[in-house]
Structure 1
Amino acid sequence: MPRLDESKQPVDAAGARALLGRIVIDREAFGPGVVRSSPFESAPGRWPVLDDGCVWQTSALPPDVLATSTRHFQVPAGDGHGRVRINATVTVHRTREESGWETAHAMEEVLRCPGQVLSAGEELKNLWGASLYLGEQLNGWTEDAFTESGQYVSEEDGGPYRYVWSQGQFGPVTVAVAGKGAAGFSDDALNALVVQGTSRLMIQLKQALAKEGG
């Protein structure tokens, strides 16, 4: 892990949005076969919140978040498999401590809600998660790693199919990629897409905020 250059941390929303532009990824980061979905980017200024009924809602950005971006991709149906969905999210917090709390909240949400409603007709089931600090169980790529997996069920796409989420942190920023599988698409192939996307995000994040020379 490189050292964080705190002088490069954004101090306001405009600086955070500029930083997002250096970190976010496009379809090329995942390799061939992945295309943009429509809509491509989530609405700016909105934040996902898991309510008491384990249903995802959106609200205004919380005070600790300067900016966030979620981009949507897919592997179109073909070659014997259904449509695969992929989301890539980058969130810029005010401080390193606040980005760490985001990971802690993610773990709490899995424990509280192993079943979650994403939207009308879309659900996650049998979720479990794991969090590893830097140095634990060969975690050498992120200050705080979080993984979540389970099953994805959709009225439109069917299921249950594999669902996986991978999140990393460097300084005040978290990056994450989620994958929703499909019939005929192997778990290993889905995992590889999520790892590829998360790795590219972390490389670009470290390039943006690390001290020169490590």
Structure 2
Amino acid sequence: MTHRRSSALRAYGCVAAGLLVLAGCSNGGGGKNGAGERIPAGAASGTASAAATPAPASSGTPTAPLIPELDESKQPRTAADARALIGSIAIGQEAFGPEVGRSTPFESDPARWPVLDADCVWQTEKLPQDVLATSTRYFQIPAKDGHGRVQINATVTVHRSRLESGWETARAMEEVLRCPDQRLRAGEELKGLWGASLYQGEQVNGWTEDAFTESGQYVGEEGGGPHPYLWSQGQFGPVTIAIAGKGAQGFTPEALSALVVQGTSRMMLQAHQELGKAAG
């Protein structure tokens, strides 16, 4: 089960409108850090943001805005239109690099929506009225080369309006404050969660209208733990996109953060392309 919370761009040559994509600008084929921990091909060779938030690159020349103006005529009005939009924004394993593959199951039930209950346990319910469609895809780096199995979830949600997508981010922050410890399912828990939210233009947030990041520790029956856990979420108009990363023994926190940045960067760019006004 993934959170309801709902952007690197190796394929775009690390030049997507000034985003500093920590993971996408390395041409190396992977290796190990000084502690002997595995850093996969396609992940950062340097350090990554602890909050896994893409940051605008510094430049001496003016650049186009990183966030285009929303074209409201492109907003989905029906569930079918929202599902089609998700298909254009959602990413596959190639967005992360060659070591990442699909998990089984690969996609969530499109009719269900995770909800954090009063006991800080995630449950699933029918989609709420404000959500037209949502989808989560599940990826993994299998255990090998001295590290355990790494899990990555990518979520796209389409609301009926920008107001409702904004409320999703607000609820995400409330959930962390209410439940710093959460149970995903039997045998899987998140511990010591903390979160931060930045509006467009605040600090390093030049990539999304409203950014939310969450970090803590992941504990699972399969891989033990605690291991690093990261969640990065962005908003553009009625759409929220998010990546969750669950670390493993022998896999660096920097590498996990880089993968999260890669996924959110790609999906946010695609959301801008689908819903933004064309440059005049």
Calculate the TM-score normalised by the size of structure 2: 0.76
Greater helix proportion:
1
Tell me the secondary structure at the aligned position of residue 197 of structure 2.
strand
Larger RCO, structure (CA 8 Å, separation 6 or more): 2
| Match in the other structure for 1:36 | 102
SS of 1:74 mapped into structure 2: strand
Question: Residue 219 of structure 2 aligns with which residue?
Answer: 153
Return the alpha-carbon distance in structure 2 between the equivalents of residues 77 and 138 of structure 1.
Answer: 34
Partner of 1:82: 148
Aligned positions of 1:9-24 closer than 5 A: 9-24=75-90
Partner Cα distance (1:156, 1:18) in 2: 35
Letter paired with 1:111: L
Q: Distance in 2 between matches of 1:192 and 1:56?
A: 26
Deviation at 1:31, TM superposition (A): 1.1
The structure whose residues are more often strand, as a share, is 1
Give the superposition deviation at 1:161: 0.1
Once the two structures are superposed, residues 80-138 of structure 1 have per-residue CA deviations (whole angstroms, 9 ceiling, x without a partner) of 10000000000000000000000000000000000000000000000000000001012
Query: 1:55 and 2:121 equivalent?
Result: yes
Superposition deviation, residue 32 in structure 1: 1.7
Pairing 1:2-151 to 2, within 5 Å after superposition: 2-151=68-217
Q: Which amino acid aligns with 1:193?
A: L
Q: Which 4+ runs in 1 deviate beyond 4 A? A: none
Distance 1:142 1:12 in 2: 24
The structure 2 residue matched to 1:167, chosen from 213, 218, 233, is: 233
- Count how many residue pairs are aligned between Structure 1 and Structure 2: 214
Offset of 1:192 from its aligned partner?
0.2
> For residues 121 and 234 of structure 2, what CA distance do their matches in structure 1 show?
24
Task: Confirm whether residue 203 of structure 1 aligns to residue 277 of structure 2.
Answer: no
Matches of 1:75 and 1:114, distance apart in 2: 27
- Match of 2:215, SS state, is strand
Q: CA deviation at 1:194?
A: 0.3
SS of 1:78's partner is coil
The CA distance in 2 between the partners of 1:175 and 1:9, in whole Å, is 15
- Of 191, 196, 202, 2:257 maps to 191
Where in structure 1 are there 5+ consecutive unaligned residues?
none
Q: CA deviation at 1:177?
A: 0.1
What is the deviation of 1:155? 1.1
* One-letter amino acid matched to 1:98: E
C-alpha RMSD of the superposition: 0.6
Aligned counterparts of 1:162 and 1:32: Cα–Cα separation in 2: 22
What TM-score does the superposition give when structure 1 sets the normalisation length?
0.99
| SS across alignment from 2:77 | coil
Following the alignment from structure 1 to structure 2, what is the Cα–Cα distance between the partners of residues 113 and 21? 32
